[in-house]
Amino acid sequence: MSAARDRRADERALRAALRDARAPSEDAAADRVLARALGIHASAPAAEPRRRPRPALVVVIAVVAVIVAAGLTSPGQAVGDWIHDVVRPSAKPKPAPTATLPPGRVLTTERLGPHRDAAWSPHGRFAAATTHDTLLAVTPGGAVRWRVRTPAPPRSPAWSTDGYRIAYLAGPQLRVVVGDGTDDRLFWSHARGVAPAFRPTAGRSVAWVERDGHVRLADVDRAVLEWRSPATVPSGTRALSWSSDGARLIATGPHGARIFDLAAGTTRTIRGRFAAAAFPPVPGRAALLERRRHGSAIRLLGAHEPLIATAGRYRGLQWSPDGRWLLTVWGGQWLYVSRDGHKVLTVPAHGTPLDWVR
């Protein structure tokens, strides 16, 4: 028994050492990438978006913080190339504006290529990112904390609310890995290409879309199926979003949205042309990104008037961590839209926002 315990202790120590091992000159490389990746972005304000009458539009210029890349190893170098493509610092910062942007850090990318995504951990200590064959965790300082080779191109990583697990897709597989990069395992074999979503009130429970179009919710630690949706998700659904209390789940496709109320056991269908939908991280109504004949609009669920509507297309939809702002891309601008629609702040676009933390 003692010998077996000693072997297990040795294995744990070796695994910890491997996780913490750093490539030669990795810190210096990370510093170089960081210097190139972070900068102050400034330009003249874009034309004011056309929307329903509100108090005066505030136009600001601000610093945009983005996740930085790391390392000389091949996955780290791939992430480094990604960040280099995303952000190019301006040559000379301009004076600070009188107004400021909502607080937090936006994770963004512009040229990830096929099957490449990224997501913040709950408190922004790490970002999970993907290359063509690797899932890796990267610190905001640029260091690759760990990496996992996957059986198929990984995509759509999602952190559990407690930060202890990551669910992601690899081909038709739903896989789960511990937050320190250990115990990567197959959880479900027949998942659709819809980003999984952990339930906010249960760090071990993740929702995904089965091949038959129904949503399933399971405790990934105990391997227990907890719920199956009574109806299928809309055709073309690409993401799921939970309400902050974990009671409702919205699935959105290009021709409609469907809200599943797990507590009441009901399903509500919303007709329309949607590019995205998301519940805020605090109690509140979901936001819908609508496609219109000559433009786009963002409105809150149940509201008749949009928060903002313009010609042209919006890309992406992210809530601020405090639930007071929405962020989308409009042409060459990022639009920060307040939850009440009273303010719209603009800065030059830096790719499509993927995630936003404090």
What number is the average pLDDT over the span 120-147? Answer: 92
Q: What is the pLDDT of residue 141?
A: 79
Q: For the chain, give percent helix, strand, coil, nearest 5.
A: 10, 40, 45
Q: Where do runs of H (alpha helix) occur along 21-121?
A: 26-37, 74-86
Encode pLDDT of 134-163 as tens digits. Answer: 999 999 877 899 999 999 999 999 999 999
Compare 36 and 354 and report the one with higher pLDDT.
Answer: 354
Q: What is the sign, positive or negative, of the torsion defined by CA atoms of 167, 168, 173, 178?
A: negative
Encode pLDDT of 50-90 as tens digits. Answer: 444 332 222 222 233 433 333 323 333 433 333 333 322 33
Residue with tokens 């995904």: 208
Q: What is the pLDDT of residue 230?
A: 97
**Distance (Å, rounded) from C-alpha 201 to C-alpha 293?**
38
Compare 255 and 99 and report the one with higher pLDDT.
Answer: 255
Q: What is the pLDDT of residue 140?
A: 85
**Distance (Å, rounded) from C-alpha 319 to C-alpha 282?**
10
Q: In this structure, how many other beta carbons lie within 10 angstroms of the beta carbon of residue 100? A: 12
Predicted confidence (pLDDT) at residue 217 exceeds the cutoff of 60? yes
Out of 98-102, 295-299, 309-313, pick the least confident: 98-102
Q: What is the pLDDT of residue 108?
A: 86
What number is the average pLDDT over the span 292-313? Answer: 95
Judge whether 143 and 34 are in contact, CB under 8 Å.
no
- Name residues whose C-beta falls within 8 Å of residue 63's C-beta, 6 or more positions apart in sequence: 40, 41
What number is the average pLDDT over the span 254-271? Answer: 96
22 burial type by CB count under 10 A (0-12 exposed, 13-18 middle, 19+ buried): middle
**Distance (Å, rounded) from C-alpha 168 to C-alpha 174?**
6
Which domains does the chain carry?
26-357 (2.130.10.10)
Residue 283 has what DSSP assignment? S
The rounded percent of the chain whose pLDDT value lies above 70 is 71
Q: What is the β-pairing status of strands 274-278 and 287-292?
A: antiparallel
Q: What is the pLDDT of residue 76?
A: 38
Rounded to whole angstroms, what are the CA distances from 307 to 50, 134, 150, 327, 342? 11, 39, 41, 12, 8
Give φ, ψ of 42 to 5 degrees. Answer: -145, 145
Highest mean pLDDT among 33-47, 49-63, 215-229: 215-229
What number is the average pLDDT over the span 26-43? Answer: 34
Compare 209 and 74 and report the one with higher pLDDT.
Answer: 209
Q: What b/e readout covers 313-327, taking b as 16+ CB neighbours within 10 angstroms?
A: ebbbbbbbbeebbbb
Predicted confidence (pLDDT) at residue 201 exceeds the cutoff of 80? yes
Judge whether 154 and 118 are in contact, CB under 8 Å.
no
Predicted confidence (pLDDT) at residue 109 exceeds the cutoff of 90? no
Helix (H) or strand (E) holding 7: helix 2-20
Compare 83 and 320 and report the one with higher pLDDT.
Answer: 320
Judge whether 185 and 167 are in contact, CB under 8 Å.
no
Predicted confidence (pLDDT) at residue 5 exceeds the cutoff of 60? no
Predicted confidence (pLDDT) at residue 282 exceeds the cutoff of 70? yes
At 173 the three-state DSSP class reads: strand
pTM of the model: 0.75
Q: What is the pLDDT of residue 83?
A: 32
Judge whether 174 and 196 are in contact, CB under 8 Å.
yes
The rounded percent of the chain whose pLDDT value lies above 90 is 65
Token code pair at residue 314: 């919006």
Q: What is the pLDDT of residue 4?
A: 53
Q: What is the pLDDT of residue 73?
A: 38
Q: What is the pLDDT of residue 351?
A: 87
| Closest of 335, 329, 319 to residue 351, by C-alpha | 329
Predicted confidence (pLDDT) at residue 337 exceeds the cutoff of 70? yes
Predicted confidence (pLDDT) at residue 8 exceeds the cutoff of 90? no
